[in-house]
Structure 1
Amino acid sequence: MAAFPQRKAQRLRRADGSRKGALDEGVVAVVQLLNGRAQFCTTSSCSGRLVLAQGRPADVNGGEIAKGNCTWLMVTHELCSKGDVMTALEKATGDVVLKFEPFVLHVLCQELRDAQLLHSVAVDSGFRNSGITVGRGGKIMMAVRSTHCLEVPLSHKGKLMVSEEYVEFLVHVANRKMEENIRRIDRFYKRLELALKTASSPSEEVKKNSSVYVRRRKRKTVQETDVHTSPQDRNEELEPEDDTESNLDIFAEITI
């Protein structure tokens, strides 16, 4: 993508448009790692959050709080307590749901192979709902996502519809999901760091295997052409052939 460097520079100059106006602490390391590489540009992220969202009464058919006019009574990117939730619910005047939303990250990628590498790392780290989209103009976007979610209605028209004991249970469940989310982010960062290093600097084992491959190809070729070549020909160094099929094996099971 010829215009990728310019597109990345323009994107990184933009002001943060999120409600918070800054990166979540839990995702700073991942964002810096990716933006430090020429082939990646992060466009949006959230480290994971627990939210009490209030909206208009639920639609009879849709069963969801309308996204328009939705307000947050509470939001945290860390573990919370039953007391935090109950205090926030005291301000409820409409329909309120308790939500846990896991880590999400959108990354603009220079080449398809860059997105595939990122996708492989994300899936291996537990973010199995991740995917790649390619726009008409060749824009390649990789989304790191998971189905590690929770959404439960708690009040209707300001009236709490469940017991405090149940609220305590939900908070426990949400906190466990947050803990798992934090572990997955840490795993994703470590595996991404390793994958990027490996991609830019092949390991000694890879170099060794490549060398063995060249020698085997050389011996085989010399044996097959022994009756047609002179001693001088046999001493010429043979160049390794491109093994495109082998190079693409790592992406064979990736679905876009």
Structure 2
Amino acid sequence: MSQNAFDQKKASILDEINSIQPDLSPKGTIDELCIPIMDLINSNSDMVTTSSCSGRISVFAEGTKNSNPEVKVGGKGEGGRWIFVSHDSKSVNGWLDNLLDKLDEHSIFINTNIVGDVSLFDGSTRYILYKYEPFILHVKCRNFETASKLYNTAMGCGFRESGIGSNNIVAIRINIKLDIPIGYLDEKTEQFVLFVSRQYIQFLDSITLTKFNDNARKMNQLYNKINNDIIKNDGAAKKEDIIKESKEERRVRKMKEGLERQRLLNESRKD
């Protein structure tokens, strides 16, 4: 029996998930913290996960900013680069020292505890951004009814940035992020310059660990809500449908058996 388009797409996605080959993400693998909720969602015949991130800390150096339509002002820009990225909360403390050990002499950080002339910073400044980005999950649903059910469940858990896009894809998101300038790229020397102290970096790291903890708690809450409100409910509903269908089949069968017995009884009387 041929599969419909959704079932074919789900089978293809699950094959990719279960493959030992690297996926298309920069990391190349699924975050371990995402696996339980992905497995839960994918156990439902009407949903399949398409992309995910369990949450991460990163340090990003912005690219060139200008009025060229091909380079978005304030965006990643041409020449933007990730300086540090990790999905592991254990890598938060001490990230700066570990990074300094890996950077070459042409990309060195210079610590400056006091910003000099702030008028030098304008819309063209290429900032170094310290980021924390929380859990995000995209789920393709068989129909709008399923997508709405998942969306409402996520919203009920506080994932207020969630939404339903085209093709019944639900984006599950929450706003517990950080996005803070901690330095800039000196384009004359091509050096990364910090304009915050190490103490301030430690302060940000402390906040980030709190974000990681909040993120894990919300992921667990979402898992339980999906399990109770969708997975178990759908399973119970389908089981109930089977029971109802079986009773109906039994009624029809009993009626046919009764008619057959009546026919045989009538024939025996004729004999």
1:45 corresponds, among 52, 63, 66, to 52
1:114 and 1:182 mapped to 2: Cα distance? 25
2:54 and 2:160 mapped to 1: Cα distance? 16
1:4 is matched by which residue type in structure 2?
Answer: F
Question: Paired residue for 2:235?
Answer: 200
Question: Paired residue for 1:17?
Answer: 24
Question: Paired residue for 2:117?
Answer: none
2:33 is matched by which residue type in structure 1?
Answer: G
1:151 and 1:86 mapped to 2: Cα distance? 20
Residue 155, structure 1, aligned to residue 183, structure 2: yes
1:128 corresponds, among 131, 148, 160, to 160
Residue 151 of structure 1 aligns to a residue in which SS? strand
1:68 and 1:105 mapped to 2: Cα distance? 28
Structure 2 gap segments, 5+ residues each: 109-125, 186-191, 241-271
Residue 94 of structure 2 aligns to a residue in which SS? helix
Is the contact made by 1:35 and 1:41 (CA closer than 8 Å) also made in structure 2?
Answer: yes
2:184 and 2:66 mapped to 1: Cα distance? 12
Residue 70, structure 1, aligned to residue 72, structure 2: no
2:194 and 2:75 mapped to 1: Cα distance? 16
Residue 115, structure 1, aligned to residue 181, structure 2: no
1:3 is matched by which residue type in structure 2?
Answer: A
Is the contact made by 1:106 and 1:142 (CA closer than 8 Å) also made in structure 2?
Answer: yes
1:73 and 1:54 mapped to 2: Cα distance? 7
| Equivalences for residues 130-149 of structure 1 within 5 A | 130-134=162-166, 139-149=167-177
Residue 131 of structure 2 aligns to a residue in which SS? strand
1:39 and 1:178 mapped to 2: Cα distance? 30
Residue 165, structure 1, aligned to residue 199, structure 2: yes
2:195 and 2:75 mapped to 1: Cα distance? 15
Is the contact made by 2:92 and 2:208 (CA closer than 8 Å) also made in structure 1?
Answer: no
1:104 corresponds, among 125, 136, 140, to 136
2:236 is matched by which residue type in structure 1?
Answer: S
Question: Paired residue for 1:232?
Answer: none
Cα gap change, 1:133 to 1:100, in 2 (>3 Å): same
Is the contact made by 1:130 and 1:143 (CA closer than 8 Å) also made in structure 2?
Answer: yes
Is the contact made by 1:57 and 1:95 (CA closer than 8 Å) also made in structure 2?
Answer: no
Cα gap change, 1:89 to 1:51, in 2 (>3 Å): farther
Is the contact made by 2:63 and 2:81 (CA closer than 8 Å) also made in structure 1?
Answer: no
- Identity within the alignment, %: 30
Higher-Rg structure is: 2
Q: TM-score, normalised by structure 1?
A: 0.70
Cα gap change, 1:78 to 1:198, in 2 (>3 Å): same
> Shift in Å at residue 55 of structure 1?
3.2
1:9 and 1:70 mapped to 2: Cα distance? 36
Structure 1 gap segments, 5+ residues each: 207-256
> Shift in Å at residue 32 of structure 1?
1.1
2:205 is matched by which residue type in structure 1?
Answer: V
Cα gap change, 1:25 to 1:57, in 2 (>3 Å): same
RMSD over equivalenced CA pairs, Å:
2.6
2:95 corresponds, among 81, 84, 103, to 84
Cα gap change, 1:133 to 1:65, in 2 (>3 Å): closer
